[in-house]
């Protein structure tokens, strides 16, 4: 669990990172930032105490009074929108920058996976970069000699290991960077979105290696915009917003709070129904989408979907001609995480031949159950006839809520339960 207060003497030896009341400020203006840097250096040279607790002109708090602890074998997720302070916190812990207030105590060897391969010399070969990179982490030449074959095998670049790194693809450099970091057998791993690179085979290999390291006691701090990555790796998480710690604790609860806040912030951009402006006669292709909304089975417009509840997507259209074999497509993306595609549905793939007659019509996609997890989504909706596009709506935002705890799932599966007595062949 995340601990924000003093721990007992028994647990003290298990604490690898202790962050206490840490704050970090930056300046929005480059020239003024350089001036402040020179001013701070001069203050330190004359052994005068800096007034770090106050903001100067055009400065802001990237992190504001953050405290938590990381224990041996623990995995903590960092959650928040861009600009929340997640990467700044990792940079502070890794020692790349210093905090303005507070303290950070580290026990053990730390490996920051913040930018895979960023420290490689492009002129040197992969093999030479392994020695240079792992020596920075504190390994001796003898230790590197013992591990180098394992690093090369893990990175799967044996044929190119003696070629200059500048000839590597980004995926090859990423594999080599990850292989170097995990084979130093660190006590602490700082991981900032690096698991989003590479092909699926390499990512699965990374997860397996991370699981092995964790079994040996390695602790992780993981930043990922995909909440399902956090759920699968971390039991505890920290939610940051504009540099402040909003909440911490069980990952499922933290993600639910983050997504609730995300929905509240973006709810002003979504509405119960959206109306599209009418097209000029010369612009119309025969069918124009006039409005979009969700309705319940009684035909009443609903403001949000509920997981496991029925709902119907209503696409109101104005048709100026008869359309045979119309195809309606719906692409749904999640607005939280990395905006990944969740669903792609077409009436043609469902073997539904839709006929649209002239006049006002409403096309409904009727869902006996909404299977989307709670969150904010964006739908792209189009109507086609063969390859001909008749109309398209690029953005229709909607909310999905739930009255059940289902955040640890990747999707919702509608289901019923039965007990079958196999001896009698009867159901109960």
Q: What's the token pair of residue 145?
A: 């000699």
- Report the phi/psi class of residue 249: left, alpha or beta, with left for phi > 0 and alpha for psi in -120 to 50: left
Predicted confidence at residue 12, as pLDDT, reads: 67
Per-residue pLDDT, 5: 43
Residue 348 has pLDDT above 60, yes or no: yes
Among the listed residues 13, 117, 103, the one whose alpha carbon sits nearest the alpha carbon of residue 66: 103
Last residue of a domain, one of 243, 265, 287: 265
**pLDDT of 358 above 80:** yes
Q: Which of 240, 265, 290 is the last residue of a domain?
A: 265
Residue 369 is assigned to a structural domain of this protein: yes
212-223 mean pLDDT: 89
DSSP string, 358-380: SEEEEEEEEESS--PPSEEEEEE
Asked if residue 148 is part of any domain, the answer here is: no
Do 232 and 341 sit in the same domain of this protein? Answer: no
382, burial (CB in 10 Å: exposed 0-12, middle 13-18, buried 19+): middle
Percent of the chain with pLDDT over 70: 84
The answer to whether the CB of 274 falls within 8 A of the CB of 396 is yes
297 lies in the same domain as 235 = no
Domain termination residue (choose one: 204, 234, 265): 265
Asked if residue 421 has pLDDT above 80, the reply is: no
Residue 278 shares a structural domain with residue 390? yes
Give 111's pLDDT tier (boundaries 50, 70, 90). Answer: confident
**Phi, psi dihedrals of residue 94, rounded to the nearest 5°:** -75, -10
Q: What is the pLDDT of residues 297-335, one digit of tens each?
A: 999 999 888 888 899 999 999 999 999 999 999 999 987
Structure tokens at 367: 């869902």
More confident residue, 253 or 329: 329
For residues 95 and 200, state if they share a domain: yes
Residue 12 and residue 266: Cα distance in Å, rounded?
A: 42
pLDDT digits (tens, 9 = 90+) for 362-405: 999 999 988 888 778 899 999 999 999 999 999 898 888 876 65
For the ranges 202-216, 254-268, 325-339, which has the lowest average pLDDT?
254-268
Query: What's the domain range around 30?
Result: 9-108+187-265
Do residues 315 and 221 both lie within one domain? no
Distance CA 81, CA 239 (A): 9
| d(C-alpha 294, C-alpha 312), whole Å | 5
Say whether pLDDT at 1 is over 80. no
126 pLDDT above the threshold of 50: yes
The highest-confidence range among 215-219, 256-260, 314-318, by mean pLDDT, is: 314-318
- The arithmetic mean of pLDDT across residues 219-236, rounded, is 81
Listed in sequence order, the residues at least 6 apart from 259 whose beta carbon sits closer than 8 Å to its beta carbon are 227, 336, 374, 375, 376
| Structure tokens that stand for 223 in this block | 């930043």
Question: Do residues 321 and 352 share a domain?
Answer: yes
Q: Give the number of other CB atoms < 10 A from CB of residue 21.
A: 12
The model's pTM is 0.69
Please tell me the least confidently modeled range out of 41-45, 276-280, 328-332. 41-45
Q: What local confidence, expressed as pLDDT, does residue 8 receive?
A: 52
Same domain membership, residue 234 and residue 200: yes
Query: How many domains is the chain partitioned into structurally?
Result: 2
Mean pLDDT score across all residues of the chain = 83
According to DSSP, the residues that pair with 367 across neighbouring strands are: 311
Looking at the structure, do residues 347 and 302 belong to the same domain, yes or no? yes
Nearest of 19, 28, 30, 26 to residue 61 by alpha carbon: 26
pLDDT, residue 381, reads: 95
Residue 177 forms part of a structural domain: no
Residue 160 in any domain: the answer is: no
Tell whether 294 and 312 lie within a shared domain.
Answer: yes
pLDDT band at 336 (very low <50, low <70, confident <90, very high): low
Same domain, 291 and 209: no
* Of 62 and 51, more confident: 62
351 and 203 assigned to the same domain: no
User: CA angle 84-88-92, nearest 5°?
Assistant: 145
> What is the spatial distance between Cα 328 and Cα 318, in angstroms, rounded to a whole number?
15
Provide the pLDDT for residue 291. Answer: 93
For residues 286 and 383, membership in a common domain is answered with yes
**In three state form, how does the secondary structure of 59-98 look?**
EEEEEEEEEEEEECCCEEEEECCCCCCHHHHHHHHHCCCC
Is 344 inside any structural domain? yes
Residue 161 has pLDDT above 60, yes or no: yes
Count helices and strands in the chain by DSSP H and E runs: 9, 22
> Can you give the CATH number for the domain in which 54 is found?
3.40.50.300
Share of the chain above pLDDT 90, in %: 36
Q: Which CATH number is 305's domain given? A: 2.70.50.60
pLDDT at position 269, please?
46
């Amino acid at each position: 669990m995340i601990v924000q207060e003093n721990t007992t003497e028994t647990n003290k030896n298990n604490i690898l990172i202790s962050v206490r009341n840490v704050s970090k400020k930056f300046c929005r203006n480059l020239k003024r930032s350089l001036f402040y840097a020179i001013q701070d250096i001069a203050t330190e040279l004359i052994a005068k105490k800096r007034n770090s607790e106050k903001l100067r002109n055009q400065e802001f708090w990237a992190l504001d009074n953050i405290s938590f602890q990381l224990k041996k074998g623990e995995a903590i997720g960092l959650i928040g929108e861009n600009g929340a302070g997640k990467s700044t916190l990792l940079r502070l812990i890794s020692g790349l920058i210093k905090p303005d207030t507070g303290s950070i105590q580290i026990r053990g060897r730390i490996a920051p996976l913040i930018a895979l391969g960023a420290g490689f010399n492009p002129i040197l070969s992969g093999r030479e970069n392994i020695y240079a990179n792992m020596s920075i982490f504190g390994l001796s030449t003898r230790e590197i000699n013992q591990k180098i074959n394992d690093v090369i095998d893990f990175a799967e670049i044996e044929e190119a290991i003696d070629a200059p790194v500048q000839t590597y693809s980004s995926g090859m450099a990423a594999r080599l960077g990850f292989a170097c970091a995990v084979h130093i057998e660190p006590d602490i791993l700082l991981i900032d979105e690096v698991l989003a690179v590479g092909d699926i085979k390499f990512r699965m290999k990374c997860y397996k290696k991370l699981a092995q390291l964790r079994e040996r006691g390695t602790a992780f701090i993981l930043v990922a915009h995909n909440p399902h990555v956090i759920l699968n790796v971390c039991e505890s998480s920290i939610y940051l917003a504009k540099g402040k710690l909003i909440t911490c604790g069980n990952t499922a609860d933290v993600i639910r709070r983050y997504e609730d806040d995300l929905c509240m912030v973006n709810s002003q951009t979504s509405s119960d129904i959206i109306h599209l402006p009418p097209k000029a006669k010369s612009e119309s292709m025969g069918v124009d989408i006039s409005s979009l909304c969700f309705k319940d089975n009684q035909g009443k417009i609903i403001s949000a979907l509920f997981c496991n509840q029925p709902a119907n997507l209503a696409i109101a259209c104005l048709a100026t001609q008869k359309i045979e074999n119309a195809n309606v497509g719906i692409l749904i993306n999640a607005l939280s995480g990395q905006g990944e595609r969740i669903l792609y549905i077409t009436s043609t793939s469902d073997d539904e031949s839709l006929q649209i007659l002239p006049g006002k019509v409403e096309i409904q996609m009727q869902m006996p159950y909404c299977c989307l997890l709670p969150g904010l989504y964006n739908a792209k909706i189009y109507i086609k006839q063969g390859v001909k596009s008749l109309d398209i709506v690029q953005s229709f935002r909607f909310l999905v809520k739930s009255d059940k705890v289902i955040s640890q799932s990747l999707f919702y599966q509608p289901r019923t339960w039965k007990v079958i007595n196999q001896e009698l062949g009867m159901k109960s």
